[in-house]
Amino acid sequence: MCLNRTLLTAVALWMFHLNIVVAQSKSPGGKSEVEFQHRYDIPFRITDGLPMTMVADAEGRSFLYVAAKEGGFRIFDVSRSPVLTKTIPIKELDSLHVMSLTQSGRRIYLALGNHWGRHESVGLAIVDVQNPKAARVLGIWKDKETGGAAGAIVVDGQTAFLAAMEKGLVSLDVSRPSNIRELSRLQPRLDFPDAKPDKTKINARGLALVGDLLFLCYDAGGVRVIDVSDPEKLTEIGRYSNPAMNGLPRAYNNIVVDGKYAYVTADYVGMEVLDVSNPRSIKLAAWWNPWTPQPSALHWFSSPGHANEIAFDSKRRLLLMSAGRSDLVAISVATPGKPLQVGTIGDVEDSHATWGLALQNDRIYLSYIRTLGIPFRADWAGVKAFDFQE
């Protein structure tokens, strides 16, 4: 019976890929259409922490803000050769690791809480970067409950939405940084897409806010759409998971939305293009997956890529994704239903692997992490900057 199910699943996946999957790895003629030029490295020693991700100053100032996990929050002046100008250690952040961040105006919002720790708490810190070289913490919120960690954070005016991994989604009033106040929280249902899920694999991760709709990557729990028009009453109105992955490991990590389409990183099986014009009934428009065209549990470890963070260059109609061993992949979505790889950074065979990325005009920043060999080997940590052009 088990063999029959496996055979049927393989046949179904093969047929599905014939019709949906766009797995062309390069542009016509085999040439890369986007060229990347390396600018500089910011190496991280073991004592510096682990650079998870970063944002370039949203107001065009020459500063890079880095979430450095146990190394706290780090600010680099990148006007010339990068120089570390300010560190806020975790002892000033209620001993919580810095996992992600976002910027709104001249404030940086830090998502706090170690993904890989035990008995952790999730938190949020607000940092004043009016003068980045003299940045200071304005306020911290820490969950009273243990469990949970930081996936991502988005801010809309006086409200912050925090992806709290196993704790789901938390909305917070940040109008008074010295008195951050929890408004509500939502733990989306766990029994989708699997009726009997492994709860440890369902975590609130990447976020994208479009008007009153918050698109949430719920890891093995698919993509969820949350109505946040009332931050004190969060309501799930839509959900999606690729049916071709039923019975197989899945991980929706991060998402960007442009018009009627959402682009979602799906870890070891590439990137999905979703039609979200009706958020209550999301449809798969395309699936870019040259890495593991016939997924299995074992392919999680052998896949040459693990798509994680994603950015969208609207001018070029270009997606940029951090991709683990594959470092970075550039995908053209000039025709959203036909995603096409047009550029890469890195060598699958080397010992470098990415986690996060940040886009600023024609520059891309990639954060590299060390690992213990799972799901890939990586032994250099730091940030690399590249300029790119078509």
Amino acid 376: pLDDT: 76
- The whole model's pTM is what? 0.92
Amino acid 32: pLDDT: 61
Report residue 211 as tokens.
């008007």
Over the stretch 65-85, which tens digit does the pLDDT of each residue have?
A: 999 999 999 999 999 999 999
Over the stretch 186-216, which tens digit does the pLDDT of each residue have?
A: 999 999 999 999 999 999 999 999 999 999 9
Amino acid 98: pLDDT: 98
List, in order, residues 6 or more apart from 275 with CB less than 8 Å away. Answer: 260, 261, 282, 283, 284, 285
Residue 223: what are its φ and ψ, rounded to 5°?
A: -110, 130
Residue 181: what are its φ and ψ, rounded to 5°?
A: -125, 130
pLDDT band (50, 70, 90) for residue 5? very low
Task: Determine which of 101-105, 218-222, 296-300, 320-324 has the lowest per-residue pLDDT on average.
Answer: 296-300
Give the range with max mean pLDDT: 82-86, 344-348, 375-379: 82-86
Dist CA 51 CA 176 (whole Å) = 29
Amino acid 254: pLDDT: 98
Strand runs labelled E in 159-234? 159-163, 169-173, 181-186, 207-210, 213-217, 223-227
115 and 165 Cβ atoms separated by less than 8 Å = yes
Q: 87 pLDDT exceeds 70? A: yes
Over the stretch 240-253, which tens digit does the pLDDT of each residue have?
A: 999 999 999 999 99
Helix-strand-coil percent breakdown of the chain, rounded to 5? Answer: 10, 45, 45
Q: 8 pLDDT exceeds 60? A: no
Over the stretch 214-242, which tens digit does the pLDDT of each residue have?
A: 999 999 999 999 999 999 999 999 999 99
Amino acid 377: pLDDT: 80
Q: 3 pLDDT exceeds 50? A: no
Amino acid 299: pLDDT: 82
Which residue blocks in the chain are alpha helix, DSSP H? 2-19, 299-302
Over the stretch 347-362, which tens digit does the pLDDT of each residue have?
A: 888 889 999 999 999 9
pLDDT band (50, 70, 90) for residue 298? confident
Amino acid 23: pLDDT: 42
Task: Determine which of 159-168, 263-272, 300-309 has the lowest per-residue pLDDT on average.
Answer: 300-309
* Residue closest to 344 by CA, chosen among 30, 39, 36, 28: 36
Task: Work out the average pLDDT over 137-152.
Answer: 94
Domains of the chain: 2-389 (2.130.10.10)
Amino acid 329: pLDDT: 97
pLDDT band (50, 70, 90) for residue 26? low
Task: Work out the average pLDDT over 142-148.
Answer: 90
Over the stretch 265-287, which tens digit does the pLDDT of each residue have?
A: 999 999 999 999 999 999 999 99
% of the chain beyond a pLDDT of 90: 82
